[in-house]
Structure 1
Amino acid sequence: MADARPAGSATVLRVVLGKRLQVLREKAGLTYEDAGRALDVTHATVRRMEKAEVGLKLPYVEKLLGCYGVDDPAEIEGFLALAREANRPGWWHRFRDVLPDWFSAFVSLEQEANLIRAYEPHYVPGLLQTEDYARAVLRAGMPHARPAGIDRAVAVRRERQALLTRDSPPLLWVVMDETVLRRPIGGPEIMRAQISRLMDATALPHVKLQIMPFAAGPHPAMYGPFHIFRFPQAELPDIAYAENLVGASYFDQRDDVSAFLEALDRMCAQAPPAHTTEALLGGLRKEI
């Protein structure tokens, strides 16, 4: 998958259930057409359910499970309960006025991942931004937005950051260019506070931060920022995300994701180790 509007725009659970339906259908030896006839719909409808491109209608799901040979009432009810949950919009749905569809997908993946890796050459990742820094970044990136729109976008970032303080948070492993910390955003006071926030983050057991210094020279990811998400669900492959000015692309094909992973692994080996980051940040803060 490499698409500006991926299946990831659905809740991740809906993607997982779609894949489980696909496995059950194939195990039963049925085609899309066979399943479509059982529901009296086109084969495309079944395919879209499996690809999480549409919601999971409970009567359809229940009928498909029976068609695929699932006859245990407890198993059927368990699947239907998950389908109900999957159809519920995520918290980010209430921010759809300021959250484009292509980024809603990102937030869904971020919320469900158990490992988030990222390379960032331009600014501090949203999960680690202070509110003042976030506001300055958003004003620069949304020059025509009204103050209320900026406030809403900042609120989204606050909500996203809650995942780092929840029970069983994901491991966040970020490589940032030194450029990020040298670029003045919002003024010296805001930058000092932001660096202090990063120093606090390095003390968290589930946050790993590395700084790629200018002196390290060229590295394999000098094309732009990207994220890689890994999930606890066996049905979901790793997904890579690369953003541009007007949208984003998502990749889940093994060869594509491997290219991102290899670049990031090489950068992690090239950058100073994470245990030195707090001292590096302290030095940079003194220079501001």
Structure 2
Amino acid sequence: MPTVKPSTVLGRQLGDELRRFRESAGLSTAEAAEVLDCTKGKISRIENGHVPVRMPDLHALMHAYDVEGTEARERLAALARRANRRRRDGWWRQYESVLGDAYRDQIEMEAICNGIRTYEVQLVPGLLQTAEYGRAVTVASRSWKTPEEIEQFVQVRLTRQERLTGKAPVDFWAVLSEGVLRQQVGGPAVMRAQLDHMAAMAEQPNVTVQVLPFSRGAHSSMFGPYLLLSFPQLASLDLVLSETPTGNIWMERELEVARYRELFDDARTAALPPTESLTLIRRVAKEYQS
């Protein structure tokens, strides 16, 4: 299944505003397309935030939509500049040789979201991985061949973790299947260090970790891992990344996102409370000592 690229949050904000101005002006997408001498599909992609808007095109659309207020025009121009700059810049650009489109998109979205909720079946979430654990996962994936590529990819994962500890840290909530604790990635020593690290991270005020034990039986999130990203602007901008064996899929439709919110709420309700989860994580960590 192919990966579906998400729109940028800033691009979606800009697109939402442009759509409202177009509708207020009584113009169809076909009529807007005539303004830019493009297809209706391009106007739809602009309004969905999937393609950047060049400044000359933005000014043409604002003129066609009778956007005359200085404040509104400056707000749209500022959104366009920020959205276009976000697409070009970012620390991850230096690692593009080892990043696929889906992973780069995920990093870009993580950089501007204010909340991350994730359910994991078998792997420690990337934002909580140690270097040794991440290296073992990277080698096992067989997607990167040379030691240099492997180390670059591990560095990407470690740099991502600054979202948990840097300025304005993101609110992170993970629900993990007990299998995450039991799957020996890298051997006992690596697992002991990994679980110790995860327990330490779980004590940070912006990090919540819960474990869903095997004893809970069947539950609604058993089908696979997913990531739910929320943004400070509007709940309607939330995104879901669903991981599949053949590719990751981004979902933006409100009904789809709402379904994953329900799934996550079910998972966290079924899981052990954070304090009991922390006790279990530490107990399993000690088992790797023996």
TM-score with structure 2 setting the length: 0.91
Alpha-carbon distance in 2 for matches of 1:205, 1:187: 30
Cα RMSD over matched residues? 2.0
What is the correspondence of 1:179-218 to structure 2 with a 5 Å cutoff? 179-218=179-218
1:63 is aligned to 2:60: yes
Alpha-carbon distance in 1 for matches of 2:100, 2:244: 13
**Alpha-carbon offset, residue 36 of structure 1:** 1.9
**Alpha-carbon offset, residue 122 of structure 1:** 1.0
Report Cα offsets for 1:242-283 as digits up to 9, x if no partner: 112331112222332233222221221111111222222211
1:161 is aligned to 2:158: no
1:36 to 33, 37, 50: 33
Alpha-carbon distance in 2 for matches of 1:3, 1:251: 13
Report Cα offsets for 1:221-250 as digits up to 9, x if no partner: 111111111111227432221112331112
Report Cα offsets for 1:85-136 as digits up to 9, x if no partner: 2112242233221111122222222222222111101110001111111111
The answer (yes or no) to whether the contact 2:6–2:250 under 8 Å persists in 1 is no
The answer (yes or no) to whether the contact 1:116–1:172 under 8 Å persists in 2 is yes
Alpha-carbon distance in 2 for matches of 1:3, 1:233: 29
Report Cα offsets for 1:40-81 as digits up to 9, x if no partner: 333333222222332210011112122222223343233223
1:87 is aligned to 2:93: no
**Which residue in 2 is equivalent to 1:269?**
269
Alpha-carbon distance in 2 for matches of 1:103, 1:216: 32
**Alpha-carbon offset, residue 149 of structure 1:** 1.1
Alpha-carbon distance in 2 for matches of 1:77, 1:254: 29
**Which residue in 2 is equivalent to 1:109?**
109
Q: Which secondary structure does the structure 1 equivalent of 2:161 belong to?
A: helix
The answer (yes or no) to whether the contact 1:12–1:108 under 8 Å persists in 2 is no
TM-score with structure 1 setting the length: 0.91
Report Cα offsets for 1:130-162 as digits up to 9, x if no partner: 111111111111255211111121121122111
Query: In the alignment, residue 38 of structure 1 is paired with which amino acid?
Result: V
1:122 is aligned to 2:122: yes
1:231 is aligned to 2:248: no
Query: In the alignment, residue 82 of structure 2 is paired with which amino acid?
Result: E
Distance 1:242 1:7, change over 3 A: closer
Distance 1:34 1:218, change over 3 A: same
Query: In the alignment, residue 279 of structure 2 is paired with which amino acid?
Result: A
Distance 1:24 1:215, change over 3 A: same
Q: Which secondary structure does the structure 1 equivalent of 2:204 belong to?
A: coil
1:78 is aligned to 2:67: no
**Which residue in 2 is equivalent to 1:6?**
5
The answer (yes or no) to whether the contact 1:243–1:249 under 8 Å persists in 2 is yes
**Alpha-carbon offset, residue 3 of structure 1:** 6.7
The answer (yes or no) to whether the contact 1:4–1:102 under 8 Å persists in 2 is yes
Alpha-carbon distance in 2 for matches of 1:189, 1:173: 26
Query: In the alignment, residue 67 of structure 2 is paired with which amino acid?
Result: V
Distance 1:98 1:125, change over 3 A: same
2:16 to 13, 16, 19: 19
Alpha-carbon distance in 1 for matches of 2:25, 2:235: 18
Alpha-carbon distance in 2 for matches of 1:162, 1:257: 26
Query: In the alignment, residue 136 of structure 2 is paired with which amino acid?
Result: A
**Which residue in 2 is equivalent to 1:98?**
98
**Alpha-carbon offset, residue 205 of structure 1:** 0.9
Alpha-carbon distance in 2 for matches of 1:56, 1:129: 37
**Which residue in 1 is equivalent to 2:282?**
282
